[in-house]
Amino acid sequence: MLSEPRDGVDMLVFGDRRALGLGAQQAGINLDLPVIGPDDLRKRIDGNVLVDLGTLDPGDATIGMATATSGAAALENFRAALLTAKAGLADAVAFTPFNKAAMRMAKSDYVDEIGFVDAVLDAPRSGREFNVLDEVWNARVTSHIPLREVAGTLSADRIFDSLKLTVEVMQDAGIERPRIGVAALNPHAGDGRNFGTEDEDIILPAVERAMARQMAVTGPVPSDTVFVRALKGEFDAVLTMFHDQGQIAMKLIGFDRGVTLIAGYGFPIVTPAHGTAYDIAGHGVADTGATLAALDLGLRLAGRSSARQTDDVTCENLIAALKNKPAWARGQSKTPPGPRRELEPSADADKTGQSGRTT
């Protein structure tokens, strides 16, 4: 992404110049990327730049192994990107695959990305995860919880809210009237209450409520056929009740193209749907298809939103927040940022700060 700049796209990359340099070496590419520090966010920035947070000395981490050091670096980089978008200096956030074990080593109460985003942004409501392929979208009612807790977590309100958000997000992506198939929870959609009551008592009322609001919703549809019907063109999206109910199907359809979208925060958050693949880390052989697809989706969603802007006070608060490391990030190996290329202040920096961009 960084070696082949795209017209009209400015990327702020948060991380460590040493780690990025090692990655470029492993990938066999040359990066001529300006390096800046958090203070430079006061200036107008054009083109792609690295915001060097000094978060990870490669010598303090082991390639292909989850460590507390690498987990803390990933969380700190992600936090910086989220705060930058919240401040209006970015239109979308994209992150590379995370290893939850490493992140939990660094921050013991870490569960998943949504909980972390909620805390960083002080969000009034939690977002939702979507998996996106050209063929079909997948939205979830529940995500990273034990399977034994799924049925008790479902409610008609929660399912309806998930349907409503799915429609809103897909409309933002240019699908004006998305057709959504709602997956049943139990085998054969409960088989007339023989195999469970949740489909009739919880899922069906949510579907009927959505239909009354003129949403193009069908269900509950037996989960063993709902994706078959979607791939035949009947549905644009499938709403599943739990994580693997949709993930298995989506990864079978397009593992190397799948994108995870986290929506509901005022700006899109995207990432490839696959994991860290530590078994091939450092070999320079990773498939970049899903990462590029994630960037494309983030840009498409950002491009349909109003331009985001910030003011001087917000910008100063952001810089202070980036310098004020959370407790779980302190004590990590730090070195002063590398050489910087001076950036010219914006002509209107004193008035509006920066215009929106992608990070």
* pLDDT tens figures, 269-279: 999 988 899 99
Q: How confident is the model at residue 304 (pLDDT cuts 50, 70, 90)?
A: low
Pairing of strands 179-183, 35-36: unpaired
Residue 216: how many CB atoms within 10 A of its CB?
15
CB 8 within 8 A of CB 282: no
Name beta bridge partners: 218.
181
Q: What is the mean pLDDT of residues 157-185?
A: 94
- Alpha carbon distance 156, 255 (integer Å): 31
Q: How confident is the model at residue 305 (pLDDT cuts 50, 70, 90)?
A: low
Q: Is the per-residue pLDDT at 143 higher than 80? A: yes
Q: How confident is the model at residue 310 (pLDDT cuts 50, 70, 90)?
A: confident
CB 252 within 8 A of CB 283: no
Would you state the pLDDT for residue 342?
34
| Helix pair 68-86, 312-323: axis angle to 10 deg | 170
- Alpha carbon distance 16, 19 (integer Å): 5
Q: C-alpha distances in angstroms, 307 versus 15, 49, 94, 291, 356?
A: 25, 20, 18, 24, 6
Kindly compute the dihedral angle of the four CA atoms of residues 47, 52, 56, 58, in this order, to the nearest 10 degrees.
Answer: 60
- Alpha carbon distance 136, 164 (integer Å): 17
**75-94 tens-digit pLDDT:** 999 999 999 999 999 999 99
Q: How confident is the model at residue 253 (pLDDT cuts 50, 70, 90)?
A: very high
Would you state the pLDDT for residue 313?
93
**DSSP string computed for 55-89:** ---GGGS-TTS--HHHHHHHHHHHHHHHHHHHTTS
**Across all residues in the chain, what is the average pLDDT?**
88
Q: What is the mean pLDDT of residues 88-108?
A: 93
**207-233 tens-digit pLDDT:** 999 999 999 999 999 999 999 999 999
**324-359 tens-digit pLDDT:** 989 888 755 444 444 433 333 333 333 333 334 445
Q: Is the per-residue pLDDT at 41 higher than 50? A: yes
